[in-house]
Amino acid sequence: MAAARVKKLKAVAEQMPQTREEVSENIHRLGDIQREALRLETRMNDKIAAITEAEMPRITALKKEIASLFKGIQAWCDTNKASLTKDGKVKTINLITGSVSWRARPPSCIVRKPDVVLEALHNLGLTRFIRTKEEVNKDAILADPKAVTGIVGITVQTGIEDFSVMPFEQDAGVK
């Protein structure tokens, strides 16, 4: 079988200004477009806020009703669990309009104040419950890049610069 041919897509030609004046005009246009996008986003967010405010009372009422119905269903099912699950032989019960089920969660470990817990584990000699993580010290590599020259997997990048365009904006100090 022949290997599939890979098609190369040509890059879209960007508008490249030819003079300093064209660069200045493009920066002005960039600022205009950014401000228009911000206005559209603000208008969109205002509409979303209005819809949210209008519908929130109904949503809140429905959530309260859902919680009440859920608690009632759970209370009845817990009361009748033995007969519903055939004394624990069945975990899911299909009712006419839906199903209910009980699932035991797997064990979990919650650690509050890890510094205090680590100290206690050390003091009690329970170091088997302490994980030590090894990782590459990138700060040390950047401090002495010649020492790691030739090591596969390590690349020290230097001389990279980022380019940004910031159209001038007036700020009324309103946040």
Digit-coded pLDDT (tens) for 67-83:
999 999 999 999 999 99
Distance in angstroms (rounded) separating the CA atoms of residues 60 and 54: 11
Phi then psi dihedrals of residue 133, to 5 deg: -105, 125
Strands (E), 7-159: 92-94, 99-101
* Each residue's pLDDT tens digit, 8-59: 666 656 778 899 999 999 999 999 999 999 999 999 999 999 999 999 999 9
Range of the domain at 35: 18-101
| 146 assigned to some structural domain | no
* Each residue's pLDDT tens digit, 120-138: 999 999 999 999 999 999 9
Tell me the two tokens of residue 43. 């208008």
| 30 assigned to some structural domain | yes
Its pTM stands at 0.57
- Domain count along the chain: 1
| 62 assigned to some structural domain | yes
